Amino acid sequence: MAEEEEKFRALFNASHQLVILLDGNGMILDINETGRNLLDDKAEKYIGTKLADCDFWLTVGDSVTIRNAIENAQSKKMQRELVNIAGQFKKEIILDVIIKNVPLSGRVGNFVVVEGRDISDRVRASKSLMESENRLSRAQRIAHIGNWEWDIPKNELKWSDEVYNIFKVPKKDFNGTYDGFLEMVHLEDREAIEKAVRKSLNSDEPYSLTHKIVCPDGTEKIVHEIGEIIRIEDGAPLRMEGTVQDVTDRWMKQQELIEAKNNAERANLAKMQFLATMSHELRTPLNAIIGFGSLIESQTFSECAEDQNVEYATYIHESGQHLLSLINDILDVSRLELEAIKPEPSSFSFPVLIKESINIMIGKSQEKDIYIDVQVPPGMKNVYLDKKLCKQIIINLLSNAIKFSFVGETVSIKLEEEENSIKLSITDNGIGLEEDDLNYVFEPFNQVNRSYLSGNEGVGLGLTIVKKLTELQQGKITVSSEQQVETCFEVVLPTILSQEK
């Protein structure tokens, strides 16, 4: 008997786990060496004390948990709990505790054995890992960047949570394969993705690619993806790892900057063209005014016939009128840009206004033998718009049509009455516009088809003025054209100009 107890005692103290022996009432009978070391060598004071009443439990909850577990062990044989104790130097220790009810051989009653394994380091490491993963997840969410791993032999693709957020795909709806990913890549970019992946597989070089994806709800996004290959010792591809970042906002801003740069370059080119054209347009009539003025001033002029005097004066007048027209156009654009022009609506007949405008332009049309065809619906009601601004719209468009029409052609003016609006269409059968010119025809100082314009006057402000005068009256202007066939400008204006704007 003494030999068996000695063996038991040797095993009891040799255990690397805390072991506490209790009687059937939960009183501590003994604590092994490991337990005594954990409890700062003060274990002796706990002998004869109920385990649940000891002062080393970190919280009341731990004490209650142990008490309940001891009671339950009487009938269920074994209980397992996680509890916290204050060990040496009050250091928190996390124990994985197993409580067993052990009957005494040949005796009435039983022991309760409490075994506790210190898992503090493992729990803390697990907690630290979880916190690290949470920080990574938060960082990925903030940066809109996720990571992925593709098991190539198994064709299993694993995404981090942020990748699912970027692709706007619930985890249950993604099949976790490379093909499943490709289905969400925009059709235009799939070939580029596959080519980049193949190149990386063949060369071991990481790939970096910006491409479009299409989310299940139809939303298109721009993502930047980086991937690199991992191989096993024999060189076979094991997996590919990488990141994907939502760069939609950044890409859009870059496109805006590029567009702004292009617009600035176009504006600068237009300015240079304007300056070159203005120098020519101003120099020509000024030379005429100065030249004919010098002739009138010279002594030899008295010998000239009176009809030649009139002719020179006519040239001076025409040149002055041309200069005035150029300056007026520039001033009009400046005033419109500064919003210095305000509509002053009144009631008037638009068909009558068309007729008045034609009368002003009839001289220019006759110079090129151009017939002006007018189509106006009968019995049309008066409109409530700015008559002066509408007249300038008609004259500028009519002048433009005559300028670009071939000799002997027809310019058509068509007026249509629509619900709460009117539509004015002016069509010429001239040289037409190239497709690229349609995007810039209303920009200031832009003259299209310059080879044909070389013999025409103007600095490219007429259509700019028309557009601004139309929009000033809450209207809209559009243009359509087919080269060497026709060009049609359509102006839609409300029949009654609102005073709210």
Q: Is residue 253 part of a domain?
A: no
Query: Are 24 and 162 in the same domain?
Result: no
CA dihedral 324, 330, 333, 338 (to 10 degrees): -110
The pLDDT score that the predictor gives to residue 126 is 80
Query: Are 357 and 489 in the same domain?
Result: yes
Q: Is residue 76 part of a domain?
A: yes
Residue 473 has pLDDT above 60, yes or no: yes
Tens digit of each residue's pLDDT (9 = 90 or more) over 391-437: 989 998 998 899 888 899 999 999 999 889 999 999 998 888 888 77
Query: Are 349 and 368 in the same domain?
Result: yes
Count of residues making up the chain: 501
Q: Which of 38, 26, 42 has its CA nearest to residue 74?
A: 26
CATH number at residue 182: 3.30.450.20
Q: Is residue 293 part of a domain?
A: yes
- Segments forming the whole domain that contains residue 191: 139-246
Q: Is residue 25 part of a domain?
A: yes
CA distances from 109 to 3, 4, 25, 50 (A): 22, 19, 10, 17
Q: Which of 108, 167, 162, 106 has its CA nearest to residue 139?
A: 162
Dihedrals φ, ψ of 70, to 5°? -65, -45
Tens digit of each residue's pLDDT (9 = 90 or more) over 237-277: 889 999 999 999 888 998 888 888 888 887 777 667 666 66
Query: Are 65 and 148 in the same domain?
Result: no
Q: Is residue 126 part of a domain?
A: no
DSSP annotation of 405: S
- Average per-residue pLDDT in the chain? 82
Tens digit of each residue's pLDDT (9 = 90 or more) over 359-401: 888 888 898 999 999 999 998 999 999 998 899 899 989 988 9
- 88 near 54, Cβ under 8 Å? no
Range from 7-21, 73-87, 149-163, 399-413 carrying the lowest mean pLDDT: 7-21
pLDDT band at 145; cut points 50, 70, 90:
confident
Share of the chain above pLDDT 70, in %: 78
Domain count, the chain: 4
Tens digit of each residue's pLDDT (9 = 90 or more) over 57-77: 989 999 999 999 888 887 777
Q: Is residue 123 part of a domain?
A: no
Q: 156 - beta bridge partners?
A: 151
The pLDDT score that the predictor gives to residue 386 is 92
Query: Are 277 and 348 in the same domain?
Result: no
Residue 328 has pLDDT above 60, yes or no: yes
* Average pLDDT of span 436-460: 59
- 413 near 428, Cβ under 8 Å? no
Q: Is residue 9 part of a domain?
A: yes
Query: Are 81 and 161 in the same domain?
Result: no
The pLDDT score that the predictor gives to residue 11 is 74
**Of the candidates 307, 335, 363, which is a domain's last residue?**
335
Residue 82 has pLDDT above 60, yes or no: yes
Choice between 141 and 46, residue whose per-residue pLDDT is larger = 46
Query: Are 158 and 264 in the same domain?
Result: no
The pLDDT score that the predictor gives to residue 450 is 37
Query: Are 330 and 346 in the same domain?
Result: no
Range from 91-100, 410-419, 492-501 carrying the lowest mean pLDDT: 492-501
Tens digit of each residue's pLDDT (9 = 90 or more) over 120-131: 888 888 877 777
Choice between 322 and 84, residue whose per-residue pLDDT is larger = 84
Displacement of CA 310 from its chain's centroid (Å): 67
Range from 16-25, 423-432, 459-468, 477-486 carrying the lowest mean pLDDT: 459-468
* Average pLDDT of span 316-329: 66
Query: Are 449 and 423 in the same domain?
Result: yes
- 117 near 99, Cβ under 8 Å? no
DSSP annotation of 406: P
Query: Are 199 and 271 in the same domain?
Result: no
CATH number at residue 321: 1.10.287.130
Sign of CA dihedral 191, 196, 197, 201: positive
Q: Is residue 397 part of a domain?
A: yes
CATH number at residue 374: 3.30.565.10
The crossing angle, in degrees rounded to 10, of helices 306-337 and 462-472 is 50
Residue 354 has pLDDT above 80, yes or no: yes
Residue 53 has pLDDT above 80, yes or no: yes
The pLDDT score that the predictor gives to residue 159 is 92
Query: Are 31 and 100 in the same domain?
Result: yes
Range from 1-15, 86-100, 177-191 carrying the lowest mean pLDDT: 1-15
- In the structure encoding, which two tokens stand for residue 79, read together? 């209980």
- In the structure encoding, which two tokens stand for residue 445, read together? 């100082």
> Scanning the structure block, which residue is given the tokens 């993705």?
193
**Of the candidates 191, 222, 246, which is a domain's last residue?**
246
**Of the candidates 246, 273, 298, which is a domain's last residue?**
246
First vs last C-alpha separation in the chain = 109
The pLDDT score that the predictor gives to residue 451 is 38
Q: Which of 134, 362, 144 has its CA nearest to residue 250?
A: 144
The pLDDT score that the predictor gives to residue 150 is 92
Query: Are 392 and 488 in the same domain?
Result: yes
Residue 303 has pLDDT above 80, yes or no: no
